Each structure stands twice: as structure tokens, then as C-alpha cells.
Amino acid sequence: MNNMKRIASLVRLLPLAALFVIAGCGDGFLSSNSGRLRVVMSADGAGSAPPLIADVGQASAGSEAEHGDDDDDDDGERLSRSFTAATVTLSSVLVRNLDGQLVNVDFDLPVTVDVVKLEGGKQVVLPSGTLPEGIYDQVVIVITAVQGTTLNGTVVTIEPPGGGWTAVVPICPLEVAAGAIETVDIALNARSSFLRVGSHWDFHPRFRSRLVCEAP
């Protein structure tokens, strides 16, 4: 008799289980209305952007590609004159759509980037992330940790403000289509971002888009 009651209870639960399965399928269908965004970081300097490299995982684990140095850079002003390494940790990346809404990009973050290597002629491709289809005109980068190693081996940790450092980077209107991969190429001016204030260092991120927008 108890077995019959259990079977009857299972039968009553089957329609509810089917409803959950259908709801799950619906979520998967909605998520297909998205594309992927790839962010390429390089040093701010004269000349065109370096050629892209393949998508990678953690940027601190060998995701740099070698390029020639910018001839117009004054080596005396390079960050490498003060640091052997200077890392920034990106904790989140958002983009703004034409309605003025900030949308979080589903990147595999955080990622740590050595900006001294960027100045040495390398670039970093962040792991690509998903993004709803639409048109976007701004990238917002949040950095939560900055650390450097001076030429004499001293480790310098720059304490972040509440919530970290936020850099707003205007970009040319970028249309992200479902199933497509789009690329945003941004540059960091490390020399202007790391500031010596008396006996300590301060950090104010200076990013810009490398792409020149076409005139309307």
C-alpha cells in the first residue's frame, strides 16, 4: 500500500518537473541572443595598433606577444626606469549601450597584467566574454590592485580607493551581433598612470581607444 502511495506522489510531481525542464530550455534560448567581446591591451604610443594574438586565459601567465618598440617613446620617461615590474589587476569590465545602461561583460576575471611588459612592446588579449547583442560606445574598466617592484627590489603596493580605480574609455560605436566576436583595442599610458608623489607612488589609470572613429 505504501508503494502505491509513493508511485501516486511521483506521478503528481512529473508535470512540475517537466515545467522546470521547459523553463531551463527557455533560459538557454534567451542566452543565444548574445555575442562575444574581446579586449586587447597595449601600451599607449605612436603608430598603429600591434597585430592581434590568439585569445588566452590568464594574462599574467604568458599571454603577451612580442612587438617592436615605439620609436617615438622617450626611454627616459618609461615606467621601466623606475620599476622592473608593475602589475594591475582588472576585476571587472563593463560596457555602455546607447541607452546609457552599463552592462557587465561576462569575462573570466580577475586578470593581472604587467604594464612594464606592455611598454616593452607587448600586448595582452583578455579572455573573451559574453555580451548581449546591441551597440556600445563606452568601456568601463575596474582595477582593484596595483603593485610594482622597483629597480632595487622594493615591492610597492598602491592602496586602491573604495571600490577600486575606475577608468572610463570612450570607443567608437561597436555593434555586437548574436554569435559574433568583436574586438576593442585599448591602450594604457603607464607613464601618466603611475605618479611619484614625494616618497610614495600614486595611480590614476589613463586608458584610451586605439581606434579612430570615422566622421559622421
Does the pLDDT value for residue 25 go beyond 50?
no
Does the pLDDT value for residue 127 go beyond 90?
no
**pLDDT value of position 62:** 37
Q: Which residues lie below 8 Å from residue 111, measured CB to CB, with a gap of 6+? A: 58, 59, 60, 89, 90, 126, 127
CA-based end-to-end distance of the chain: 78
* Summary mean pLDDT of the chain: 77
The closest of 59, 140, 137 to 104, measured between CA atoms, is 140
Q: Which residues lie below 8 Å from residue 166, measured CB to CB, with a gap of 6+? A: 140, 141, 142, 143
Contact 41, 188 (CB under 8 A): yes
Does the pLDDT value for residue 22 go beyond 50?
no
Confidence band for 60, pLDDT divided at 50, 70 and 90: very low
Q: What is the mean pLDDT of residues 35-43?
A: 94
What backbone phi and psi angles, to 5 degrees, belong to 73?
A: -75, 135
Q: What is the mean pLDDT of residues 101-120?
A: 92
Contact 69, 159 (CB under 8 A): no
Distance CA(115)–CA(124), nearest Å, equals: 10
Does the pLDDT value for residue 72 go beyond 80?
no
Percent of the chain with pLDDT over 70: 69
| pTM for the predicted model, two decimal places | 0.72
Q: Of 77-86, 148-157, 207-216, give the range with the top mean pLDDT.
A: 148-157
- For residue 106, the 8-state DSSP code is B
Sign (positive/negative) of CA torsion 169, 123, 135, 92? negative
Choice among 9-13, 99-103, 194-198 with the minimum mean pLDDT: 9-13
Does the pLDDT value for residue 192 go beyond 50?
yes
Q: What is the mean pLDDT of residues 12-21?
A: 36
Confidence band for 78, pLDDT divided at 50, 70 and 90: confident
Q: What is the mean pLDDT of residues 125-137?
A: 93
Does the pLDDT value for residue 11 go beyond 70?
no
Q: Where are the domains of the chain?
A: 32-209
The closest of 34, 53, 148 to 97, measured between CA atoms, is 34
